[in-house]
Amino acid sequence: MSEPFLIGENMTGGYGNGPDILHDCTIAVNPGEIAVIVGPNGAGKSTAMKAVFGMLNVRSGSVRLDGEDITALSPQDRVVKGMGFVPQTSNIFTSMTVEENLEMGAFIRTDDIRPTMEQIYDLFPILRDKRNQAAGELSGGQRQQVAVGRALMTQPKVLMLDEPTAGVSPIVMDELFDRIIEVARTGLPILMVEQNAKQALEIADRGYVLVQGANGHTGTGKELLADPEVRQSFLGG
Amino acid sequence: MSETVRNSLLFAFVGLLIVLDGTIDFAFFSGSWNSALVILNMGLISAIMALGVNLQWGFAGLFNVGIMGFVALGGLAVVLISSAPTPGAWQAGGFGIILALLLGAMTILACTVIYKNTPKGRFRAVLLIAVLAVGFVVYRKIFDPAVAGVEAINPANAGNIGGLGLPVLLAWPAGGLLAAGAAWLIGKTALGLRSDYLAIATLGIAEIIIAILKNEDWLARGVKNVIGLPRPVPYEVDLQNDPGFVESAASYGLDPVTASTLFVKLQYSLLFAVVLIILLVMAQAALKSPWGRMMRAIRDNEVAAEAMGKDVTRRHLQIFVLGSAICGIAGAMMTTLDGQLTPGTYQPLRFTFLIWVMMIVGGSGNNFGAVLGGLLIWFFWIKVEDIGLLAMQLITSGMADGSALKIHLIDSAAHMRMLTMGLILLLVLRFSPKGLIPEK
Amino acid sequence: MDILNALVALTNFVLIPATAYGSQLALGALGVTLIYGILRFSNFAHGDTMAFGTMCTILVTWMFQSMGVSFGVLPTALLALPFGILGTMALVLFTDRTVYRFYRQQRVKPVVMVMVSLGVMFIMNGLVRFIIGPGNQRFADGERFIIKARAFKEMTGLNEGLAIKTSQGITVVTAILVVAVLFWFLNKTRTGKSMRAYSDNEDLALLSGINPDRVVMITWLIVAALATIAGVLYGLDKSFKPFTYFQLLLPIFAAAIVGGLGNPLGAIAGGFVIAFSEVLVTYAWKKVLIYLMPEGMGPEGLAQLLSTDYKFAVSFMILVVVLLFKPTGLFKGKAV
């Protein structure tokens, strides 16, 4: 098997000089794929993603993007390299309009950003209607769309979402997942952490079940959903 | 070198500075015991102020920029408690003033009751404004003639409500109480909000307290000052007329005038040292008590302390009131030492900022540090002007006499104080934020 | 009843001075609120930054005056203003580099920053007193009035005169211009938007590739300009004295908090709220009431709610009420 587009391989590390939270953990994603990290509370799901994004002190192992070793880069530099990241909370500029949010997302770009913005409005039509409204005034689901849209404005080579459906209603969640699939179909690799394991694994091409900071089970979404052990241990039977 | 030895040496160094100032007439040392004792006395008072501020900042991380106001309230207490009563002042309007102030307080109280118990809406707003307006008019109707009545009594020497004529030492705790009351009001408002807000609120209350002292002539004669406040120690003149004193002075080889001034100052030093030691012992006990540990725990991690069920705002209020009370006591002591209340001389630089420098340089969070900082910085505060002048003379020595720049530089040496103190604060904060005697 | 004269008296003694004062406070509060929004601390050195900027301007004004340069009917200080702004910019950038940057990198608590700003305040204060002295300086020249009270009386035949000082006119015009440019900058330019983004959500701004050092630098430059302009306008309108500028800190903070710290629009509104309350409460209403009350029913006293000595108490009371009931301010400011 050839090298995946983005891979965090055998990562071990923790926050600052604190104790290790991740132990020899490997996460990877390829173009056109949705990779989902699931696991029980405290398993280190978000931590694994933050490690890939450089917000963690990775003491051993490496992170490679498109074959290039980026382990030593800061999160900001990784954005420049083409990684788009949507944090779980405070992921929009609440006092700024939707359009300004998108504009700020594209801050590092010097070329014409209008076409990208149009693409995002096509993807999330509701944002086009609310483009001049302050993002903080939108509903939870709409805010998540702004957050994803902001990250897409850099035209990233890979998109990472930290629990994009946290705190939204089931209907909105389904819609968000539909959008995410739509984004993935454009060929953009998507790596996301999800609390709603069942739904997430249903749309996942690749699934990682983390247990105490280490890889517990790995496989396609369907395989994991069918795996009796995974079902038993945390999908609730 | 053990910590105790090091700290003792630091205190010994300050002692040496004062002794040198009393004995040697060289550079910025005056060579006069009188001026050395003046420095020591104010140094002791400053140390008490620094102790109070250390309670607030060092223990609890509360930023009080209104020390001046609490110090001034202490001074007011001296006038109200110990100065001689103004005959007829109470009949002429004193009671009216009290009544008016009570009515004013009741108006505010009524407003809070209405605010809490009436549903939000236009009705409440109208009601509040009506109560405020009526309350204000009634207040002024009673207050204004009463004030005029009081101020009409012997305006050249009195014109104020006068004091209770009680022993001046009673005024010291009273000053603490007065300051505590003001601190409680401020704390109630600004604590529990962002830390900056307390700073801004205290800055404001200090300015307002000074404004009240300057303008409410009925209270403490405003900028006309109250002079000749009673003393807890004998007067120099009385000592000089006391044959026994003159005799014992002669046995030390001192002339009666020098001996009496030194004796009086020494007695003040003793009094102040006693108060300082009592407060220091109490502050040390508090620091080591579970209460003090909890305070520091709150300071270091407010969120965690709150999560553990500590009522952070309430604790902060306690310590803020206590610290301000200590500043009030020190303020009362200072006014007693001066023998007069001069509202015009209260400068935020001198009474707020300088105390901060003392505490930070000495070591915030450490009571001994605060005391050391108070004594040491006060010494240099007095001497900076001399040092600045010396430095300026050195710098300008190459310039032609009478050149505009030289005159300007030498004239401006007085403003070196502010520059130096600001610089000291920034340097200590940056390079030695724990101060001379760090927190344990 | 003589409504016309009452109106003129009201305009002359209340509305015009309060508008000018409000503009000055608004510009000052804008500086405080920008620092708060971007650097996240209450800058106690702001009053003395204003004093420093004004001092620079005064020095250049004196130089121009001695060279015989004048600005016609307008005060020479306006010509010197750009130089004052440059001087202040240099000073605040120097302060940021030598003092604030260290603490920013340490990510200290805001209250430590406040204390540091207190140290900076005293150094700046000492610097100003050292250079220009603690005394009063007048530096206004040019035409003193736009409309003189006498001319107005002759023109209208009313009893009451209406005077508009040049400094008041300049204050209002300049304030409008400055605020318009500032809002255009913040809302329309890429750099301005990046500043708002940084103020709104620092982490996300960093993720978006916004350079924090640049944002901080531009903020200081703007604040230096605002502080100098506010200081010079205040000095032209009243007079320059270092201690007065320190005292302006309270109404300026009150204005910024009333409006909602970190919210520029709020700072402007807050400035006018404070200025109008101050003037309204300390104005002796007798003059206006005399025209409105029936003959012989005029008020006995001055009808003044509070003596002018307590004008700071007015800002303070408003501050307390806002802190008690709406700590985020009238316009939504940043977190409490």
Asked if B265 and B32 count as a contact pair (C-beta separation under 8 A), the reply is no
Report the percent of chain B where pLDDT is more than 90: 46
Q: What is the pLDDT of residues C266-280, one digit of tens each?
A: 999 999 999 999 999
Angle formed by the axes of helices A98-105 and A114-123, nearest 10°:
120
Buried-state track A75-93, b at ≥16 Cβ within 10 A, e below 16: bbebbeebbbbbbbeebbb
The sign of the torsion formed by the CA atoms of B8, B11, B16, B22 equals: negative
User: Please, which residues have CB within 8 angstroms of residue A176's CB and are 6 or more apart in sequence?
Assistant: A141, A144, A145, A164, A165, A168
Which of A79, A80, A95, A97 to probe by mutation at the C interface, max C CB count within 10 Å?
Answer: A95
CA distance B227 to C231: 39
Q: How far is C320 from chain B (nearest CA, A)?
A: 7
User: Please, which residues have CB within 8 angstroms of residue B102's CB and are 6 or more apart in sequence?
Assistant: none
Please state the pTM of the whole predicted model: 0.89
Considering only CA atoms, give the Rg of chain C.
21
- More reliable by pLDDT, C162 or C184: C184
For C50, the token pair is 């204003």
Q: Rounded to 5 degrees, what angle do the CA atoms C78, C79, C85 make?
A: 75
C-chain residues near A93 (CB < 8 A): 196-197, 200-201, 204-205
Q: How far is C127 from chain B (nearest CA, A)?
A: 7
For A50, the token pair is 């933050």
Please say if the pLDDT value at position A96 is more than 90. yes
For C2, the token pair is 């003589």
Place of tokens 């204003």: C50
CA distance C229 to C173: 12
For B365, which DSSP code? T
Give residue C333's pLDDT: 67
Q: Mean pLDDT in chain B?
A: 89
Q: What is the pLDDT of residues B190-229, one digit of tens each?
A: 887 878 888 888 988 898 999 999 988 888 888 888 888 8
Asked if B282 and B371 count as a contact pair (C-beta separation under 8 A), the reply is no
The pLDDT confidence band at residue B163, using thresholds 50, 70 and 90, is confident
CA C148 distance to own-chain centroid: 25
- DSSP assignment of B123-148, as one string? HHHHHHHHHHHHHHHHHHHHHHHHHH
Are the Cβ atoms of A87 and C190 closer than 8 angstroms? no
Q: For C194, which of A79, A92, A104 is closest by C-beta distance?
A: A104
CA distance A151 to A87: 10
Q: For C210, which of A85, A91, A107 is closest by C-beta distance?
A: A107
Give residue C335's pLDDT: 47
Residue A181 touches partner C, C-beta closer than 8 Å: no
**Are chains B and C in contact at 3+ CB pairs closer than 8 Å?**
yes
Give residue B265's pLDDT: 94
Q: For C114, which of B196, B418, B419 is closest by C-beta distance?
A: B196
Give residue C190's pLDDT: 92
Nearest to A13 by CA among A203, A214, A152, A177: A214
Q: For C207, which of A85, A96, A100 is closest by C-beta distance?
A: A85
Residue A85 touches partner C, C-beta closer than 8 Å: yes
Q: What is the pLDDT of residues B94-129, one digit of tens each?
A: 889 999 999 999 999 999 899 888 888 889 989 999
Give residue C97's pLDDT: 95
The pLDDT confidence band at residue C298, using thresholds 50, 70 and 90, is low
Considering only CA atoms, give the Rg of chain B.
25
Q: How far apart are the first and last CA of chain B?
A: 16
Are the Cβ atoms of C210 and A104 closer than 8 angstroms? yes
Give residue C336's pLDDT: 40
Mean pLDDT of A163-174: 86
Asked if B363 and B369 count as a contact pair (C-beta separation under 8 A), the reply is yes
Residue of A nearest to C194 (CA): A104
Q: What is the pLDDT of residues C314-328, one digit of tens each?
A: 888 888 888 888 888
| A1-82+160-166+189-237 classified as CATH 3.90.76.10 | no
Q: What is the pLDDT of residues B310-366, one digit of tens each?
A: 888 899 999 999 999 999 999 999 999 999 999 989 988 888 989 999 999 999 889
Nearest to A4 by CA among A38, A31, A36, A23: A31
Residue C122 touches partner B, C-beta closer than 8 Å: yes
Domain ranges of chain A: 1-82+160-166+189-237
Residue type, B354: L
Query: What H or E segment, with its residue span, contains residue A129?
Result: helix A125-129
Q: What is the pLDDT of residues A44-88, one digit of tens each?
A: 888 899 999 988 888 889 999 998 999 999 888 898 899 999 998
The pLDDT confidence band at residue C297, using thresholds 50, 70 and 90, is low
Please say if the pLDDT value at position B386 is more than 50. yes
The most confident of the ranges B140-149, B231-240, C88-97, C106-115 is C88-97
Give residue B193's pLDDT: 81
Interchain CB contacts (distance < 8 Å): A and C: 57
Asked if A36 and A177 count as a contact pair (C-beta separation under 8 A), the reply is no
User: Please, which residues have CB within 8 angstroms of residue A106's CB and are 6 or more apart in sequence?
Assistant: A113, A116, A117, A153, A154
**Are chains A and B in contact at 3+ CB pairs closer than 8 Å?**
no
Please say if the pLDDT value at position A1 is more than 60. no
Q: Which of residues 97-136 of A touch C (CB under 8 A)?
A: 100, 103-105, 107-108
Mean pLDDT of A128-154: 92
Q: For B193, which of C249, C305, C323 is closest by C-beta distance?
A: C323
What CATH number has the domain spanning C3-325? 1.10.3470
Q: What is the pLDDT of residues B37-67, one digit of tens each?
A: 999 999 999 999 999 999 999 999 899 999 9
